[in-house]
């Protein structure tokens, strides 16, 4: 089978032989309908692709194909018509959470994990293999050529290939064209076409950005051997043109797919059956009124094959029409109404198959329904399924309606980390994907826009709007309240500069969740990425182009975090008399559990265990925090092999203090996970550089998330910060009630030493 299929598939799919063999092996394990759908998504609908799919399905049924015999022993797929008439609606997951009491253990044994896949999952696996390497290679190039804007790729003046790092990077992009096309085919909507930005590839000619957005480098500026430098004027113009084109293409794409949605419900069996039957009857014979309208006598032998020799013109026209109708039936030519109904039936079959595959049992469906309910999307998803099934199917395949799998947290590159690059042809999932940075950000805003009670469409601010809002936020900074002055603040001990920096005052505290209870579990999650130990710097802008950095006179962010954690832990110990300390977890590229940190062991624990360096992947730390929390409270929760721990009604609330100094690479993924949880309350402290627009851009984003998700609270500080003021605001949000100044001062007293 492989000897026949491999060379033919090689001509249709630009992958190496090892990858093609894996595609064939996976497809050979599917039933005919699923195999045809999978290959169709990968190869498209060209005549060559359809011929290959047909031959592949026929050949694997030949004698000697053991896999075909294994598949044939299972029930075969019925026709679309029979499936619609006989489908058991009880297998369709209901929209509200089903009446089901979770068991303390999963019904599916961990020794037999359930594996499900589809075209999006398979394309994601191939893309994940080198996605992270490509992102790191680009960041290295940008650093090497002093390009500080993440949206600008280095360019070389010479068109011919040389061995410079820029051309090596471009060669790597060229080598990924097969994976990019596979990804596009898996997620494109009907009528869309794949494109790329590879200059020596055909995809560039279909790229809508090629001739409609100016390059940030302008027009030829340097010699053949020198890399180009971005020009602020052209960079600003490029941003404006990209924003305008993104909005236009998003609007057109959304309108186009909305127009292709079925006009009648695909879930009403009677409507589809009646429509199909009425068209079948109409094809059998012309209506009597039409025959009478011809004012001719219908020949008795009108169906005779020799009737074309007769000379009556009107009878010949009638016979010609009937013969043509029969010919269309014979060769399989269908009317537009028939095609629409068959597409609707096929669409229904695909949705039901995908739902059964993704959520195979009652416990699985309960967790998914509970997630939709907690996020607030139950009604919106049901409406989407009923009225826009094409878009529902695309989002279903991408996992939009279920919790984030726990395996993704520790993966270097998972589907939510995939970058979206509209000008390069790397697509997102929704029709309006252009303008987002990655799939996590796209999904986060989709969820925010589809939650119950959301007023209007919440659009992601474009880059220019983000910068304008950051400048406006910086302008609101004022002197901090003088009653919080402390000579022991880090900035005073290190004498970085005189006085405090101006701060943006947080909004007056408003409690949303219930106040803290003695059973609640307090933990601390600390960012220990390399930037926490760097000398703080702020970017220098020429319009929107970063041209360099200037030193800021303030302590290192790691030193500020250390002081805040000490003050917070001491105050909490005085509040709840938990003198054993609080669990501390650190994260960078990986996470580590440090142990319980308290007033008595703080210095030794910090010096011996806290090490700075690496990236900022908050999901690794968040996963470690969840594991520790549920290890302590496993009796009230269940563990799912894919979605991880699921809290029960008796599971104590986790109250987490998160400290970080910038945007984590997976911050949107973290915020997505928090939206579906009711057992966690997170208070975020963001440490920033004085007068840095990036800090205020991130602060604005966190404030928006806090406004949407009341389980997330947010406090930030910049420059030389008043640490007592910050600690007071953090405690209010962490404990869930407005702490008076008198109570705060009592909490600040040094904890008493206890005799062991």
Phi then psi dihedrals of residue 359, to 5 deg: -125, 80
Residues 166, 227 contacting (CB under 8 angstroms): yes
The b/e string for 280-310 (b: 16+ C-beta within 10 A; e otherwise) is eeebeebeeeeeeeeeeeeeeeeeeeebeee
Answer yes or no: is pLDDT of 155 > 70. yes
User: What is the rounded distance in angstroms from the CA atom of residue 127 to the CA atom of residue 131?
Assistant: 6
Return the CA Rg of the chain: 31
Burial 340-349 (b: 16+ CB within 10 A, else e): ebebbbbbbb
Q: How far is Cα 136 from Cα 159, in angstroms, rounded to an integer? A: 24
**So where are the chain's domains?**
2-77, 520-740
The reported pLDDT for the residue numbered 162 is 78
Instruction: Tell me which residue of 479, 477, 468 sits closest to 693, measured CA to CA.
Output: 468
Compute the CA torsion angle 418, 424, 426, 431 (nearest 10 deg). 120
Could you confirm whether domain 520-740 is CATH 2.130.10.10?
no
Alpha-carbon span 214 to 272, nearest angstrom: 50
Q: What is the 3-state secondary structure (H, E, C) of 391-445?
A: HHHHHHHCCCCCCCCHHHHHCCCCHHHCECEHHHCECCCCCCCCCCCEHHHHHHH
Place of tokens 């760097």: 534
Q: Model confidence over 295-347: pLDDT tens digits? A: 333 333 333 433 444 434 444 443 444 444 444 444 455 567 777 788 888 89
Q: Each residue of 482-526: pLDDT tens digit?
A: 999 999 999 999 987 788 999 999 988 888 878 888 899 999 999
92-135 confidence digits (pLDDT tens)? 333 333 333 444 344 444 445 567 899 999 999 999 999 999 99
Give CA–CA dist 170/227, Å, rounded: 14
Q: What percent of the chain has pLDDT over 90?
A: 54
Which of 213, 217, 215, 220 is closest to 229 using CA atoms?
217
End-to-end CA distance of the chain: 73
Per-residue pLDDT at 88 exceeds 60: no
Residues 418 and 438: beta-carbon distance below 8 Å: yes
Q: What percent of the chain has pLDDT over 70?
A: 79
């Amino acid at each position: 089978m492989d000897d026949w299929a491999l060379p033919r598939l090689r001509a249709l799919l630009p992958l190496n032989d090892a990858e093609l063999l894996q595609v064939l092996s996976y497809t050979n394990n599917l039933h005919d309908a699923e195999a045809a759908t999978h290959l169709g998504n990968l190869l498209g609908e060209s005549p060559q692709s359809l011929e290959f799919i047909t031959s592949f399905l026929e050949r694997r049924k030949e004698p000697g194909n053991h896999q075909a015999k294994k598949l044939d022993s299972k029930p075969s797929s019925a026709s679309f018509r029979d499936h619609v008439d006989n489908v058991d609606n009880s297998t369709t997951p209901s929209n509200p959470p089903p009446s089901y009491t979770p068991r303390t253990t999963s019904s599916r044994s961990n020794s037999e994990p359930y594996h499900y896949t589809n075209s999006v999952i398979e394309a994601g696996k191939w893309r994940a293999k080198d996605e992270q390497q490509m992102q790191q290679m680009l960041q290295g190039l940008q650093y090497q050529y002093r390009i500080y804007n993440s949206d600008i790729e280095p360019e070389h003046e010479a068109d011919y290939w040389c061995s410079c790092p820029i051309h090596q990077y471009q060669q790597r992009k060229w080598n990924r064209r097969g994976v990019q096309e596979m990804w596009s085919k898996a997620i494109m909507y009907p009528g869309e076409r794949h494109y790329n930005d590879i200059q020596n590839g055909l995809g560039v000619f279909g790229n809508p950005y090629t001739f409609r957005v100016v390059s940030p480098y302008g027009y030829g500026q340097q010699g053949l051997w020198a890399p180009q430098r971005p020009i602020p004027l052209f960079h600003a113009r490029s941003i404006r043109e990209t924003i305008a084109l993104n909005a236009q293409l998003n609007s057109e794409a959304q309108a186009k797919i909305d127009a292709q949605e079925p006009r009648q419900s695909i879930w009403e069996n009677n409507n589809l059956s009646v429509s199909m039957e009425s068209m079948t009857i109409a094809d059998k014979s012309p209506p009597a009124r039409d025959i009478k309208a011809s004012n001719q006598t219908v020949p008795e032998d009108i169906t005779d094959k020799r009737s074309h020799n007769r000379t009556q013109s009107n009878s010949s026209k009638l016979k010609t029409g009937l013969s043509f109708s029969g010919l269309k039936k014979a060769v399989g030519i269908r009317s537009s109404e028939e095609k629409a109904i068959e597409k609707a039936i096929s669409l229904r079959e695909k949705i039901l198959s995908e739902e059964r595959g993704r959520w195979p049992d009652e416990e699985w469906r309960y967790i998914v329904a509970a997630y939709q309910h907690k996020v607030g999307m139950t009604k919106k998803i049901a409406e989407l399924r009923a009225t826009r099934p094409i878009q529902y199917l695309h989002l279903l395949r991408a996992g939009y309606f279920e919790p984030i799998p726990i395996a993704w947290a520790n993966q270097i590159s998972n589907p939510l980390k995939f970058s979206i690059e509209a000008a390069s042809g790397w697509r997102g999932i929704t029709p309006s994907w252009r303008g987002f940075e990655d799939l996590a950000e796209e999904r986060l805003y989709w969820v925010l826009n589809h939650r119950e009670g959301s007023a209007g469409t919440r659009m992601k601010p474009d880059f220019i709007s983000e910068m304008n809002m950051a400048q406006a936020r910086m302008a609101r900074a004022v002197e901090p309240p003088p009653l919080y002055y402390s000579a022991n603040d880090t900035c005073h001990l290190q004498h970085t500069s005189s006085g405090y920096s101006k701060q943006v005052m947080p909004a007056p505290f408003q409690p949303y969740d219930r106040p803290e209870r003695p059973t609640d579990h307090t933990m601390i999650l600390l960012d220990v990425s390399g930037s926490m130990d760097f000398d703080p710097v702020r970017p220098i802008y020429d319009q929107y182009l970063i041209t360099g950095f200037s030193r800021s006179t303030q302590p290192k962010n790691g030193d500020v975090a250390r002081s805040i954690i000490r003050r917070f832990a001491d105050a909490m110990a005085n509040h709840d008399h938990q003198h054993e300390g609080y669990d501390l977890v650190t994260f960078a590229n990986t996470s580590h559990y440090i142990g319980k940190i308290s007033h008595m062991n703080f210095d030794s624990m910090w010096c011996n265990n806290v090490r700075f360096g690496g990236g900022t992947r908050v999901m690794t730390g968040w996963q470690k925090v969840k594991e520790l929390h549920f290890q302590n409270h496993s009796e009230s929760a269940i563990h799912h092999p894919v979605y991880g721990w699921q809290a029960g009604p008796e599971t104590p609330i986790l109250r987490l203090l998160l400290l970080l100094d910038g945007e984590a690479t997976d911050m949107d993924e973290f915020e997505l996970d928090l939206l579906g949880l009711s057992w966690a309350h997170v208070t975020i402290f963001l440490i920033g550089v004085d007068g840095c627009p990036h800090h205020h851009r991130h602060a604005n984003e966190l404030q928006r998330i806090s406004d949407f998700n009341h389980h997330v609270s947010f406090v930030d500080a910049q420059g030389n910060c008043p640490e007592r003021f910050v600690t007071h605001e953090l405690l209010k949000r962490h404990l869930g009630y407005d702490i008076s100044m008198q109570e705060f001062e009592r909490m600040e007293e040094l904890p008493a030493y206890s005799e062991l």
